[in-house]
Structure 1
Amino acid sequence: MGGTLRKGWDMTVRHKYVLVLFFLYRLLWGFFIYRFIDSVVTPILSRYPNEHPNAGAAELFAIEAQFRLLRTDLIDETLWTLGGMILTRMLLTPLLNAGLYYSFNHSADGQGTRMLTGMRRAWKPIVVLYLAETFLLLLPAVWLLPMAKDRFFSNGSMQEWIFGLLPYFAGWILWGFLLHLAFQFMQFGAVAGESVWKGLLGAVRKALPLTIVTLLLAAFGLLASAAASSISILWSGFLAVVLHQAFHFIRSMLSVWTAASQFEIWRES
């Protein structure tokens, strides 16, 4: 495992300019999401009677907020905007992945990173695989969400409802994790011009090291996130803002490192 992580780290360092691109991508996405939520929530919350409201004032605020959400076109505009942002991300993410994985595959050519070339040459299979992964990931929701709704109205307490659903959603998370690992290898094979089924077979053969490396780097990410959150709580203010923005770079670095380590495992399969 140590050798794979070192090779993945070396690959990550060689793609330092790609790290900056991914950092800006995450930073801008977070900024636009924040501005979008702020534009919807702040006008509604500004009407809240914050000076010792009585029960009637709070109830009136709830009625007014419900009216704005359900009886005006606010909810339609919000959903359309949110849908457009999600669609944009679903188009940009596989494009960036195509460039990154193609660059990984040609890292031995000695021509530097080939991100843009990969985006032009390998985007089609990566987009198709990304959409297929998303479809398979969301497929259990067709059964899980109606079941959760039925149990919500039949269970006696919220706690009982939540604990009853935990095994199902844990299984859903596991399903998504295994899907992601399988489709990673399929995408690596696609950018190399190989059959995606060969990539899937490689993921099965290398399931153990692939899982260990992915979970290990995910643990690094969780530790870094916990440390950043703790520092933000202890030292609030400008330092917390700077640290929060810098953490986008850490996330980007860990994301590329994980993909590079997975690629090294694929190359050995």
Structure 2
Amino acid sequence: MWKLVKTGLAMAWYQPFAVCTLFIYNLLWGLLLYKLIRSVAVPLLHRYPGQELSREAVQLFWIEGQFQLTKTDLIHSYLWWGLGLLAARMLFSPLLNAGVYYSLHHQELNAGYRFVRGIRKLTLPFLVLYTVQIALTLAPLYFLYAKVVSSYQSHTSLEGFAWTVLPLLGGFLLYNFVLQTLFMYLQFGVVSGRPLSYSILLLIRNTPTALPLAAFILLATLLISAAVMTSAMIWAGFATLLGYQVYRLIHMFCKMWAITTQYALWDVKSN
């Protein structure tokens, strides 16, 4: 297992183009969301009554906001913006995945060339897989929502409610963890020209190795995230801002590491 971790780390290190592309994409996406949220939040904050005004003025502000949200079409434009951004995210994610996975499978080619070629050749199958993955991810939410609402209505204490809901949330997270690993192997199969059944069987046979590998990389990523968030709360200023941007790059590298580690296992077991 540790040999696969080291092999995956070395493979991720030799994918600077893909890592930097993912970093720039997520950076631009974050800036776009920031600008959109800021354009909505700042005008509202300018209209919010200050401490010098009475409590009635604050209540009037919230009543007016509720009226505009429920009785006018003010929110429609924001909903369309949100749906448009969601659709763009769902389109760009499989495009980038196609470039990343093709780059891993064709390391003999030039970095930029193989990334773009992967997007051109594999966009459609990766888009189909991504759509199915999203559907399977969202499918249990209806059941989960119904159970949470029913549990909230039947329990008289927050402790009892938590003991009922937390195992359900844990099961949902575990389901998504396994689902993400499964679709990672399905994408390996698409890149290498293998049938989907071959990818599923290979993952099933190597589950005792694949899932611990994925869990280890996930734990390492969470520890890095926790360290950055802790330092941001302790040392505020420009150094923290710079460190956070470096962390975003490291986070993209860890995502690449998670993929390359599983690909190393795939490569060993499929040859």
Measured after TM superposition, the shift of residue 49 of structure 1 is: 2.0
| RMSD between aligned residues | 1.9
Counterpart position of 1:122 = 122
150 and 260 in structure 1: CA distance in 2 versus 1, 3 angstrom threshold: same
Q: Following TM superposition, where does structure 1 have runs of at least 4 consecutive aligned residues deviating by more than 6 angstroms?
A: none
After superposition, residues 72-151 of structure 1 pair within 5 angstroms as 72-107=72-107, 109=108, 111-112=110-111, 114-151=114-151
Q: Deviations over 1:132-176 (max 9, x none)?
A: 111011001122223333444454455654443211121111111
Q: Which moved more, 1:211-220 or 1:252-261?
A: 211-220
Q: How many residues align?
A: 268
Measured after TM superposition, the shift of residue 95 of structure 1 is: 0.9
After superposition, residues 200-211 of structure 1 pair within 5 angstroms as 200-211=200-211
Counterpart position of 1:3 = 3
Counterpart position of 1:44 = 44
Measured after TM superposition, the shift of residue 110 of structure 1 is: 5.4
Measured after TM superposition, the shift of residue 182 of structure 1 is: 0.9
Q: State the TM-score, normalizing by the size of structure 2.
A: 0.91
Q: State the TM-score, normalizing by the size of structure 1.
A: 0.92
| Matched-pair identity in % | 32
Measured after TM superposition, the shift of residue 80 of structure 1 is: 1.2
Question: Which consecutive unaligned segments of at least 5 residues does structure 1 have?
Answer: none
Question: Which consecutive unaligned segments of at least 5 residues does structure 2 have?
Answer: none
38 and 111 in structure 1: CA distance in 2 versus 1, 3 angstrom threshold: closer
Q: Indicate conservation of the 8 Å contact 2:186/2:199, yes or no.
A: yes
Q: Deviations over 1:203-254 (max 9, x none)?
A: 1111121111111111111111111111111121222222222211011000
Measured after TM superposition, the shift of residue 52 of structure 1 is: 5.2
Q: How many Å separate the matches in 2 of 1:262 and 1:166?
A: 29
Q: Indicate conservation of the 8 Å contact 1:232/1:239, yes or no.
A: no
Q: How many Å separate the matches in 2 of 1:64 and 1:239?
A: 41
Q: Indicate conservation of the 8 Å contact 2:17/2:111, yes or no.
A: no
Structure 2 residue 60 is matched with structure 1 residue 60: yes
Measured after TM superposition, the shift of residue 75 of structure 1 is: 1.7
Q: How many Å separate the matches in 1 of 2:17 and 2:143?
A: 43
Q: Indicate conservation of the 8 Å contact 1:104/1:260, yes or no.
A: yes
Counterpart position of 1:218 = 218
Q: Which moved more, 1:133-142 or 1:157-166?
A: 157-166
